[in-house]
């Protein structure tokens, strides 16, 4: 009985949809992948800003260090947000992280 | 009933083999229905394995001696709780527990992430591969459902396993060991699919934390069992099988830290893949050590037939991990670099290196006797001094880094900022060290350093909470908005308690031993123990004696009664008697053996601060729960991020 239930459960996708219009497994289109990469970059940039603000409020970072870091982080976050909003993805030059070495 | 159990295991094997083969083909050829079918096979494997597990439990509960496994590990006189715990007491049962937990975890993880179709398509066959191995072993090599003609009574259970901690220690360890398969499967799935973005990390973050927590708590419970049951006065003997649980925990600790760098900076992708593979393969290695009989250990009760199979599978998984990481290196490399050697990223990297170095030195200590025996035919052992040396060498700097890390900002920190944040914790450490030195704690420099560094870490954690509370407007709001960070600080506080407890109970313990006649006394660290005589005891399946000791000292009076139990079937066991001092958080630990007539050979250990180790366990769990607690804001953000390709769900 258990074996029958198991076999039916395993075969269920074929039993429910014996003649599908498409049997292709979804994959992200290249544009969607680029948008995802930008979304991750956006979240990293915004999280970095949030951490910087918090560290500054708690006195872990001096005013001088804060001023030197906040500008580049804000610029980077703005560039990534702009790229996302315009959906420019792969066609745009990749926005570098401030810590990235550019050859 | 046994044939039903065998049938269930064969069915489970068929299902996970289908998940592996069909799942691989479906992912490769991008066949949607076949991928879904393979996923269903993995989901179905859990209830089928559960049927086998329940059948074994029923046989154990009934003491059905027609089952060879039941006969080997129980007896009619064994209390029911321990009879059921024999499920994981032997090789076959523990393999079934591995498969049960694995199919449960795999099914749940895959079902929760079923909408991340690309990622799951390749994760299913990885789960299938691991489950296939264990199911194969259970079906064809080491079955718990072998039968025999009904026997009179069983061989019983080793007396040291007849302890309430044995009801929790192995299952918790297995929830940890097996849980490390989840991030491994998702990581390999990410490599196979070429989707090396953060989805696999987001999907497995809480799983990894949960597995790491179970492994940590399982080890602590095991240490407490060893302390109260084995009777040598310690809690961790650097036994190879104890080390086998510690190594994946260290690797997982490194992974939990460095994955934060990947999330925040997009760095260390290759390193994280290496760490997750290392943690998983070390957990497999741990299972191999425990069950193969390849080493002599209190945990290895018999040589077994599965060693060769395990070694082959472990080798396969190591090779697979290396090949996949090597293959996908171009996708994993990033251009982002460390901006400063004085930054939180840098301290995480240093802590990673120390954690991995400690894990690898412990691994060498475990492997050396095996290799020496295999290659040279010489039996060598690696003992406490080797492990203590590396624990001090890597562990003390790790403790210090735990205090440094939170004080340093991400990306880079100027010396001026550092100076401001370091002053108070540094002053606390120096003051503590000076006071302890004046009080005579300089007799052990590792102990003194452990206490001093603990003061530094403790102070830095306190200041983080104080400063954070001021910025957030309240402690609860602070923790609610920064669960991972402050949950992590609570876990660090647990490690501080652990370090203080270990240092106190080992570096500063007092040990005395003497043969006493009735009326005689022994003294240790300000306590006087007077022996008055012996008393007989009787339990459900044992008889024994207790030595009556009246203890006085440090303004207190109490009684202790160490002795031995004699189990007709299983043999003798030591029964320690322990007094927990509520004021000093230390213990007076005693054991006794009959010397001659009414004389006893008594050992006394006075172990300062040892109870902080057990308290640390509760604090550890609290910190982990805080770090794991879902954050609705973050969940919405992640769902929006992955909306196009479906969101990874995690727990």
The model's pLDDT over B507-544, given as tens digits with 9 standing for 90+, comes to 899 999 999 999 999 999 999 999 999 999 998 888 99
Q: Is the pLDDT of residue B638 over 70?
A: yes
Six token digits for residue B306:
């599965």
Calculate how close chain A gets to B369, using CA atoms only, in Å: 46
Q: Which of B124, B157, B190 represents a domain boundary (last residue)?
A: B157
Residues B578 and B521 in one domain: yes
Contacts of residue B206, defined as CB under 8 A and 6 or more positions apart, other chains included, come to B628, B650, B651
- Judge whether B123 and B110 are in contact, CB under 8 Å: yes
Residues B142 and B80 in one domain: yes
Calculate how close chain B gets to A14, using CA atoms only, in Å: 6
Measured from the Cβ of residue B206, the count of other Cβ atoms closer than 10 Å reads 17
Phi and psi angles of residue B402, each rounded to the nearest 5 degrees, phi first: -60, -30
Question: Is any Cβ of chain A less than 8 angstroms from the Cβ of B633?
Answer: no
In a domain, residue B242? The reply is yes
**Is the CB of B644 less than 8 angstroms away from the CB of A2?**
no
Measured from the Cβ of residue A28, the count of other Cβ atoms closer than 10 Å reads 18
Question: Is any Cβ of chain A less than 8 angstroms from the Cβ of B419?
Answer: no
Q: Which of B126, B157, B188 represents a domain boundary (last residue)?
A: B157
Residues B92 and B209 in one domain: no
In a domain, residue B342? The reply is no
Strands B510-516 and B556-560: unpaired
In a domain, residue B471? The reply is yes
In a domain, residue B235? The reply is yes
Residues B109 and B69 in one domain: yes
List residues bridging with B546 in a β-sheet. Answer: B535, B563
Question: Is any Cβ of chain A less than 8 angstroms from the Cβ of B326?
Answer: no
List pLDDT tens digits, range B335-391.
Answer: 777 778 888 888 899 999 999 999 999 999 988 888 887 777 777 778 888 999 999
Residues B104 and B146 in one domain: yes
> What number is the ipTM of this complex?
0.82
Q: Which of B32, B44, B467 sits opposite A59 (nearest CB)?
A: B467
| pLDDT recorded at residue B376 | 75
Percentage of chain B modeled with pLDDT above 90: 61
Instruction: Please give the average per-residue pLDDT across B532-559, as a whole number.
Output: 92
Measured from the Cβ of residue A103, the count of other Cβ atoms closer than 10 Å reads 3
**Is the CB of B117 less than 8 angstroms away from the CB of A25?**
yes
Instruction: Please give the average per-residue pLDDT across B212-225, as a whole number.
Output: 94
In a domain, residue B647? The reply is no
| Residue B483: domain span | 389-507
Residues B241 and B298 in one domain: yes
Chain A residues whose CB is inside 8 A of the B52 CB are: none
Cα–Cα separations (whole angstroms), residue B622 to B150, B218, B225, B618? 48, 15, 22, 6
Token pair 């308290």: residue:
B615
Q: Which of A5, A40, A54 sits opposite B198 (nearest CB)?
A: A40
Cα–Cα nearest to B148, from B77, B87, B64: B64
DSSP, collapsed to helix, strand or coil, labels residue B557 as: strand
Residues B484 and B402 in one domain: yes
In a domain, residue B589? The reply is yes
**Is the CB of A48 less than 8 angstroms away from the CB of B264?**
yes
Residue B396 and residue B386: Cα distance in Å, rounded? 15
Cα–Cα separations (whole angstroms), residue B114 to B17, B28, B237, B266? 20, 18, 44, 25
Domain boundaries, chain A: 42-92
SS3 track for B199-267: HHHHHHHHHHHHHHHHHHHHHHHHHHHHHHHHCCCCCCCCCHHHHHHHHHHHHHHHHHHHHHHHHHHCC
Residues B501 and B514 in one domain: no
**Is the CB of A60 less than 8 angstroms away from the CB of B264?**
no
Residues B367 and B397 in one domain: no
Q: What is the DSSP secondary-structure string of B84-152? A: HHGGGTSHHHHHHHHHHHHHHHHHHHHHHTTT-HHHHHHHHHHHHHHHHHHHHIIIIIS-TT-B-SPPS
Mutation target among A1, A4, A5, A6 for the B interface, most CBs of B within 10 A: A6
Name the helix (H) or strand (E) containing B414: none
Instruction: Please give the average per-residue pLDDT across B156-173, as a whole number.
Output: 85
How many distinct structural domains can be found in chain B? 4
Residues B409 and B493 in one domain: yes
Residues B135 and B26 in one domain: yes
Quote the Cα angle for B121-B125-B128, to 5°: 140
Between residues B433 and A100, which one has the greater pLDDT?
B433
Residue B263 and residue B259: Cα distance in Å, rounded? 6
Residues B100 and B19 in one domain: yes
């Amino acid at each position: 009985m258990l074996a029958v239930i198991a076999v039916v459960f395993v075969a269920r996708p074929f039993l429910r949809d014996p003649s599908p219009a498409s049997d292709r497994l979804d994959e992200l289109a290249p544009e969607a992948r680029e948008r995802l990469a930008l979304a991750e970059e956006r979240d990293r940039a915004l999280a970095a800003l949030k951490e910087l603000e918090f560290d500054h409020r708690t006195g872990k970072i001096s005013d001088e260090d804060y001023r030197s870091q906040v500008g580049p982080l804000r610029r980077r976050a703005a560039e990534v947000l702009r790229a996302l909003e315009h959906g420019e993805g792969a066609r745009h030059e990749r926005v570098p992280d401030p810590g990235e070495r550019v050859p | 009933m046994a044939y039903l159990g065998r049938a269930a295991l064969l069915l489970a094997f068929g299902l996970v083999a289908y998940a592996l083969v069909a799942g691989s083909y479906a992912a490769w050829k991008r066949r949607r229905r076949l991928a879904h079918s393979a996923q269903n096979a993995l989901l179905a494997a859990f209830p089928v394995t559960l049927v086998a597990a329940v059948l074994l439990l029923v046989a154990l509960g009934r003491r059905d001696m027609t089952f060879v496994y039941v006969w080997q590990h129980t007896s009619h006189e064994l209390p029911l709780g321990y009879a059921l715990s024999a499920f994981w007491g032997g090789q076959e049962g523990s393999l079934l527990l591995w498969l049960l937990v694995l199919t449960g975890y795999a099914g749940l993880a895959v079902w929760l992430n079923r909408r991340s179709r690309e990622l799951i398509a390749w994760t299913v066959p990885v789960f299938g591969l691991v489950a296939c191995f264990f199911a194969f072993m259970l079906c064809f090599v080491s079955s718990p459902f072998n039968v025999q003609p009904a026997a009179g009574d069983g061989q019983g259970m080793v007396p040291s396993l007849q302890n309430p901690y044995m009801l929790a220690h192995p299952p918790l360890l297995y929830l940890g060991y097996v849980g490390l398969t989840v991030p491994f499967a998702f990581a390999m799935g990410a490599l196979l699919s070429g989707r090396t973005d953060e989805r696999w990390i987001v999907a497995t973050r809480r799983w990894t934390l949960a597995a790491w927590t179970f492994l940590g708590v399982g080890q602590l419970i095991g240490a407490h069992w060893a302390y109260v049951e084995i009777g040598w006065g310690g809690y961790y003997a650097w036994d190879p099988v104890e080390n086998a649980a510690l190594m994946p925990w260290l690797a997982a600790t490194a992974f939990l830290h460095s994955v934060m760098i990947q999330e925040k900076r997009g760095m260390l992708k290759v390193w994280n893949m290496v760490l997750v593979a290392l943690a998983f393969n070390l957990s497999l290695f741990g299972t191999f050590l425990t069950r193969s009989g390849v080493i002599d250990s209190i945990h290895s009760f018999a040589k077994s037939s599965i060693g060769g199979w395990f070694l082959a599978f472990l080798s396969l998984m190591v090779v697979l991990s290396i090949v996949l990481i090597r293959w996908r290196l171009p996708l994993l490399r990033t251009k982002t670099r460390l901006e400063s050697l004085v930054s939180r990223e840098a301290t995480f990297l240093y802590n990673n290196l120390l954690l991995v170095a400690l894990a690898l030195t412990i691994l060498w200590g475990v492997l050396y006797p095996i290799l020496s025996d295999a290659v040279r035919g010489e039996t060598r052992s690696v003992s406490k001094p080797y492990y203590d040396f590396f624990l001090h060498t890597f562990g003390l700097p790790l403790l210090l880094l735990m205090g440094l890390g939170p004080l340093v900002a991400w990306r880079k920190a100027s010396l001026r900022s550092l100076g401001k944040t370091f002053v108070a914790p540094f002053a606390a450490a120096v003051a503590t060290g000076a006071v302890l030195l004046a009080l005579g704690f300089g007799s052990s420099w590792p102990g003194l350093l452990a206490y001093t560094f603990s003061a530094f870490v403790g102070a830095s954690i306190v200041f983080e909470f104080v400063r954070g509370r001021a910025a957030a407007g309240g402690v609860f709001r602070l923790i609610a908005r920064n669960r991972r960070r402050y949950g992590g600080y609570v876990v660090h506080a647990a490690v501080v308690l652990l370090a203080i407890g270990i240092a106190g109970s080992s570096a500063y313990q007092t040990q005395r031993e003497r043969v006493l006649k009735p009326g005689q006394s022994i003294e240790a660290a300000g306590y006087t123990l007077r022996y008055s005589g012996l008393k007989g005891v009787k339990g459900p399946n044992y008889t024994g004696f207790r030595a009556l000791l009246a203890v006085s000292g440090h303004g207190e009076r109490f009684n202790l009664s160490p002795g031995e139990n004699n189990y007709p079937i299983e043999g003798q066991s030591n029964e320690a008697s322990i007094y927990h001092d509520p004021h000093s958080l230390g213990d007076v630990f005693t054991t006794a053996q009959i010397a001659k007539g009414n004389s006893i050979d008594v050992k006394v250990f006075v172990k300062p601060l040892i109870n902080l180790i057990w308290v640390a366990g509760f604090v550890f769990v609290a910190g982990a729960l805080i770090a794991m607690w879902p954050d609705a804001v973050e969940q919405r953000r992640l769902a929006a991020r992955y909306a196009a390709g479906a969101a990874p769900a995690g727990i």
